[in-house]
């Protein structure tokens, strides 16, 4: 995919696709609830389709047509043993959340995924699930997928998680639905809370106090309707684009602005962004707003600590913005970026360097001296959707041509990404 600098402002209105985290959870929780769950504005990206495929293999009828999904749930104990390996594709959310559910079943399963998934750390779920009495094994013995899970009786625990990870927290809470007593998870900083909000919506008893979430076992989950808000992680690319290209004004409709996910907005406000939140509302416990974004000269910022989990997936595009902003941006406490779909710390550092940006990788983040013009370059996505999208946006302000190789991986979370980008350039 070859992209060139845009010579005109970006203008127009866009509805970004449904939130990936919420789409996964709606299919999973619908499957283990009784009766029909209707999901509107579902994200039909490859990751969420992996979740649908796994639950279909466990006997759940799921009708999907574009972004409309009907899940015919069979209740907490209604899943049946799959006759083949469950393939989670590129999706860490599918792998880790489903493992919590599978640990409490009466049957065994094996799950795996693509080359990236087979390198991502699963010890972070194997440890708490084992503490609950779960039987989960890394078949290669390296703490990664493929995983063999033998369903068994689980015990409630209080888990002090060493990482602020919604995937770990959700895995343990979902296993807690099948446990013999209450299960709680305490995190070092609060990660996204979609599981807590949506499980309550389906009828579970979930309480949250600060960085601790607790679930009671054996709830009677009832199918429900879920309207998925637009994904702020997808909106972030067009927020960045409008902020960077002089004269731009873009309206992004119905974006999820849950306070555990809105760190990117906070960071860009701190950098001097002109963004107005319009039509703010709450749908199923999830905050949404339309975002009116106008071109703004930005300056550097510091992003660290408890803010990191609230913008973890947006750090690649934030690094691009920081490269165009005046002054220095420091990102700390973001070592989790090394174990995402790719090593995003290494790849952002080397790829932005190849565009002429002064950037230094640190142990847990990066230091970016922004404000110099970007130069077009050849950038490999490493099959990481967020790398491909970040550099497609960087190309808008880079001199000459930018070539993104293996650019199609945007299908993981945003199949219409390049079309939406082109629509704002017209
Ligand atoms: C997700 C949680 C985050 C995020 C991922 C989606 C989720 O991962 O990076 O894209 O849906 O729970 P971690 O929990 O590993 O931080």
Say if ligand 1 is within 6 A of residue 351 CB: no
Which mutation among 163, 167, 313, 344 tests ligand 1's pocket best, with the greatest number of atoms within 8 A of CB?
167
Say if ligand 1 is within 6 A of residue 262 CB: no
pLDDT tens digit string along 231-283? 999 999 999 999 999 999 999 999 999 999 999 999 999 999 999 999 999 98
Q: Whose CA is nearest to atom 4 of ligand 1?
A: 313
pLDDT tens digit string along 181-231? 999 999 999 999 999 999 999 999 999 999 999 999 999 999 999 999 999
% the chain with pLDDT above 70: 100
Say if ligand 1 is within 6 A of residue 312 CB: yes
Q: Does the bond joining 37 to the residue before it have cis omega, within 30 degrees of 0?
A: no
pTM across the whole model: 0.98
* For the CA of 312, the nearest atom of ligand 1: 9
Whole-number pLDDT of residue 426: 80
Whole-number pLDDT of residue 169: 98
Whole-number pLDDT of residue 51: 98
Q: Could you tell me the distance, in angstroms and rounded to a whole number, from the CA of residue 425 to the centre of ligand 1?
A: 31
Q: pLDDT at residue 40 above 90? A: yes
Say if ligand 1 is within 6 A of residue 167 CB: yes
> Dihedrals φ, ψ of 238, to 5°?
-85, -25
Mean pLDDT value of segment 39-53: 98
Whole-number pLDDT of residue 284: 86
Q: Whose CA is nearest to atom 11 of ligand 1?
A: 21
Helix axes 166-176, 20-31, angle to 10 degrees: 10
Whole-number pLDDT of residue 395: 98
Whole-number pLDDT of residue 326: 98
Q: Could you tell me the distance, in angstroms and rounded to a whole number, from the CA of residue 235 to the centre of ligand 1?
A: 17
Q: Could you tell me the distance, in angstroms and rounded to a whole number, from the CA of residue 309 to the centre of ligand 1?
A: 9
Q: 127-150 b/e with 16+ CB inside 10 Å = b?
A: bbbeebbbebebeeeeebbbbbbe
Q: Could you tell me the distance, in angstroms and rounded to a whole number, from the CA of residue 165 to the centre of ligand 1?
A: 6
Q: Could you tell me the distance, in angstroms and rounded to a whole number, from the CA of residue 170 to the centre of ligand 1?
A: 10
- Mean residue pLDDT of the chain comes to 98
CA-to-CA dists, residue 393 to 111, 135, 325, 326, angstroms: 35, 44, 14, 18
Sheet with 135-138, edge to edge strand ranges: 86-87, 108-112, 147-150, 135-138
pLDDT tens digit string along 104-157? 999 999 999 999 999 999 999 999 999 999 999 999 999 999 999 999 999 999
Name every residue whose Cβ is closer than 8 Å to that of residue 142 and which is 6 or more positions away in sequence: none
Say if ligand 1 is within 6 A of residue 109 CB: no
Which mutation among 20, 21, 229 tests ligand 1's pocket best, with the greatest number of atoms within 8 A of CB?
21
Say if ligand 1 is within 6 A of residue 424 CB: no
Confidence band, pLDDT 50/70/90 cuts, at residue 7: confident
pLDDT tens digit string along 324-369? 999 999 999 999 999 999 999 999 999 999 999 999 999 999 999 9
Active-site positions read 313
């Amino acid at each position: 995919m070859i992209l060139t600098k845009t010579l005109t402002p970006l203008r127009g209105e866009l509805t970004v696709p449904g939130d990936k985290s919420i789409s996964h959870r709606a299919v999973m929780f619908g499957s283990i609830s009784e009766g029909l769950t209707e999901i509107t504005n579902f994200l039909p990206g490859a990751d969420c389709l992996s979740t649908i495929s796994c639950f279909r293999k466990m006997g759940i009828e799921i009708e999907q047509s574009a972004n409309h999904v009907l899940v015919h749930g069979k209740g907490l104990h209604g899943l049946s043993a799959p006759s083949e390996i469950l393939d989670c594709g590129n999706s860490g959310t599918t792998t880790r959340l489903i493992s919590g559910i599978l640990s409490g079943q009466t049957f065994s399963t094996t799950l795996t995924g693509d080359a990236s998934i087979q390198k991502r750390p699963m010890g972070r779920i194997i440890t708490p699930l084992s503490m609950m009495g779960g039987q989960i094994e890394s078949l290669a013995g390296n703490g990664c997928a493929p995983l063999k899970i033998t369903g068994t009786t689980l015990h409630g625990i209080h888990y002090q998680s060493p990482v602020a990870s919604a995937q770990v927290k959700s895995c343990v809470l979902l296993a807690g639905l099948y446990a013999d007593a209450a299960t709680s998870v305490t995190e070092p900083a609060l990660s996204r809370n979609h599981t807590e909000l949506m499980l309550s919506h389906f009828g579970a008893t979930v309480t949250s106090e600060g960085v601790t979430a607790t679930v009671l076992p054996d709830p009677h989950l009832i199918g429900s309707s879920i309207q998925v808000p637009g994904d702020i992680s997808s909106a972030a690319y067009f927020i960045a684009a409008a902020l960077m290209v002089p004269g731009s004004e873009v309206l992004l409709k119905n974006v999820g602005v849950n306070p555990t996910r809105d760190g990117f907005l906070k960071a860009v406000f701190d950098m001097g962004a002109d963004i107005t939140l319009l039509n703010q509302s709450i749908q199923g416990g999830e905050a949404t707003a339309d975002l009116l974004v106008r071109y703004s000269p930005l300056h550097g910022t510091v992003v660290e600590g408890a803010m990191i989990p609230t913008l973890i997936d947006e750090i690649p595009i934030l690094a691009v913005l920081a490269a165009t902003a005046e002054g220095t941006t420091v990102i700390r406490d973001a070592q989790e970026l090394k174990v995402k779909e790719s090593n995003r710390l290494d790849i952002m550092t080397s790829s932005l360097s190849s565009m002429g940006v002064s950037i230094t990788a640190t142990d847990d983040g990066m230091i970016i001296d922004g404000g110099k013009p970007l130069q077009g370059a050849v950038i490999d996505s490493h099959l990481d959707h967020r790398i491909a999208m970040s550099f497609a946006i960087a190309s808008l302000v880079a001199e000459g041509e930018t070539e993104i190789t293996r650019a199609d991986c945007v299908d993981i979370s945003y199949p219409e990404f390049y079309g939406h980008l082109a629509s704002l350039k017209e």
